[in-house]
Structure 1
Amino acid sequence: MVYLKETSEKLWQKRMRFKAWVWWFSWLFSLSFFLLCWQEMTKDTMWVFVYDAPTQAYDLLDRMFPPRWSYLPSLLKPLWDTLNIATLGTLLGIVLAFPVAFLAARTTTPSLLFVRPIALFIIVASRSINSLIWALLLVAILGPGLLAGIIAIALRSIGFVAKLLYEAIEEVDKTPIEALSATGASRLQVIDYAIVPQILPGFIGISLFRWDINIRESTILGLVGAGGIGLELQASLSVLAWPQVILIVLLIFSTVIFSEALSAKIRKAIL
């Protein structure tokens, strides 16, 4: 607040003078840092190609349409493989993430000094590596095919599911836990009857959400040889078959919309 000398009236200001200057210099620093980063990132950009991009995009779209609908029957098997990669990978990831979450939660881990750090390391390692990179590594180890894609999706899903689940475990209501513990229930019985019923709805929602994400991610694993419709996309791109490319893109788009609607209905019905 600032007072006028003559009338002693209060003059309202949003911030004190010092805070206003700090706010102003923060914005100035942020803008300067952004311009510096922009200059560094675009120093090798050939702007002539950027200016010509709308023309090139229009030319590419013109070559894509109309889609080659006769190619659609050939995509049904790869699309089914993609759905299998996403579904089986999600199930495997959920099965592995469930115990990891209990080992990572402070309230259920057997050891805060040894077991919990290992569980947290598994979660961080899973979340740090993209499923495409997992697929690259697994294709090099296992060879190309659906198995590499399934395991890649599973390894990526462990960190996502386990992190959200162990946070939910730590936030459950402690009253049922204390009541069961007071009756002499074992640790496993407390988990089974006091914790699992509380986290089960959230666990189902997390699993469905991850499956929805994995549908999207599994569509591109074929680009590195992990099977699915991405393999057909890579083949069509390599021969510049643009009508086939746009058909595959439309099919992927439709599949993602369908999975989104299906997971929403399942969540609504179960939860």
Structure 2
Amino acid sequence: MPVIETPEGPIWRRRTRGQAMARWFGWLLGLAAFLWCWSRISEATTWFFVRDAPRIAGDILGRALPPRWSYIDNLWWPIWDTLNIATLGTIIALILAVPVAFLAARNTTPSALIVRPIALLIIVSTRSINSLIWALLLIAIIGPGVFAGVIAIAIRSIGFCAKLLYEAIEEISATQVEAITATGASRWQVMAYGIVPQIAPAFAGIAVFRWDINIRESTVLGLVGAGGIGLQLQASLNTLAWPQVSLILLVILFAVVLSEWVSAKVRAAII
């Protein structure tokens, strides 16, 4: 903490004059960047539609209420498809993410120069592309439907699960591994009895957490033709059937809340 000597005595300050000037200069740069970005956004925005948005939103809300409850019979199978997309996609992702995580972790990879970079590349590449984009690519390759949605969710989830899992592997206690190794156990026995028991709680938590996320993501995959309740939502939006849209949104909300409750209960039981 800098001290400034004055005739009245020393004055304690939190920062020196140079540090204070640098701090203010940083704030000015941030303000200038914000104003520049705002001006660019303003140029590309039609403010008439923005000012008219409350009236349009009110009109749509008036058309959407009350929901068309009789349409609920058409949503049971699509919401079941959505749950299947999320569940199967998560299972496939976990099966593929486990070996990738062991190859990416520093303490389990067979080669830090060759294998580990390849595993990290898989993790980064699968995480960097949104599931909607994966779905669009897969629909062009294998056609529309639930299968494309399952594969899109699975690919998107591999990097997420593998990243968290390999970090958990790197944080394990080396004492237990060294004790099992000292008994003459093979590499696979060390992994089965020294590493897997330590990461099992983390693996279960990652699986439930990713399944919860995939429930949310799978609800919109139907907008691009990848199956699920999103197909019904897209069809209702195209025909301006707002009472059906409101009902579909309520069903999606119920499914998400239910998945959140289930995941919270499972995580609490694990922890």
Alignment TM class, shorter chain as reference? over 0.9
**TM-score, with structure 1 as normaliser:** 0.97
Counting only pairs closer than 5 Å after superposition, residues 49-198 of structure 1 correspond to structure 2 as: 49-198=49-198
**Conserved? CA contact 2:4–2:13, under 8 Å:** no
SS in 2 for 1:72: helix
Per the alignment, residue 42 of structure 1 pairs with 42
- The CA distance in 2 between the partners of 1:88 and 1:77, in whole Å, is 16
SS in 2 for 1:111: coil
* TM-align CA RMSD: 1.1
Per the alignment, residue 265 of structure 1 pairs with 265
Q: What amino acid sits opposite 1:188 in the alignment?
A: W
- The CA distance in 1 between the partners of 2:227 and 2:109, in whole Å, is 38
Q: What amino acid sits opposite 1:169 in the alignment?
A: I
Q: What amino acid sits opposite 1:212 in the alignment?
A: D
Q: What is the aligned-residue identity percentage?
A: 64
Per the alignment, residue 2 of structure 1 pairs with 3
- 1:191 deviation in Å? 1.2
Q: What amino acid sits opposite 2:194 in the alignment?
A: A
Q: What amino acid sits opposite 1:247 in the alignment?
A: L
- The CA distance in 2 between the partners of 1:47 and 1:107, in whole Å, is 56
- 1:44 deviation in Å? 1.9
**What residue ranges of structure 1 are gaps of 5+ in the alignment?**
none
Per the alignment, residue 230 of structure 1 pairs with 230
SS in 1 for 2:75: helix
- 1:7 deviation in Å? 3.2
- The CA distance in 1 between the partners of 2:12 and 2:68, in whole Å, is 67
Q: What amino acid sits opposite 2:117 in the alignment?
A: P
Per the alignment, residue 29 of structure 1 pairs with 29
- The CA distance in 2 between the partners of 1:84 and 1:185, in whole Å, is 40
SS in 1 for 2:153: helix
- 1:28 deviation in Å? 0.6
SS in 2 for 1:177: helix
| Equivalent pairs, count | 270
- 1:60 deviation in Å? 1.1
- CA 111–4 in structure 1, closer or farther in 2 if over 3 Å, else same: closer
CA deviations 1:186-233 (Å, max 9, x no partner) are 221111111111111011001100000000000000011111000000
- The CA distance in 1 between the partners of 2:199 and 2:35, in whole Å, is 46
Per the alignment, residue 13 of structure 2 pairs with 13
SS in 2 for 1:3: strand
- 1:4 deviation in Å? 4.2
- The CA distance in 1 between the partners of 2:139 and 2:4, in whole Å, is 72
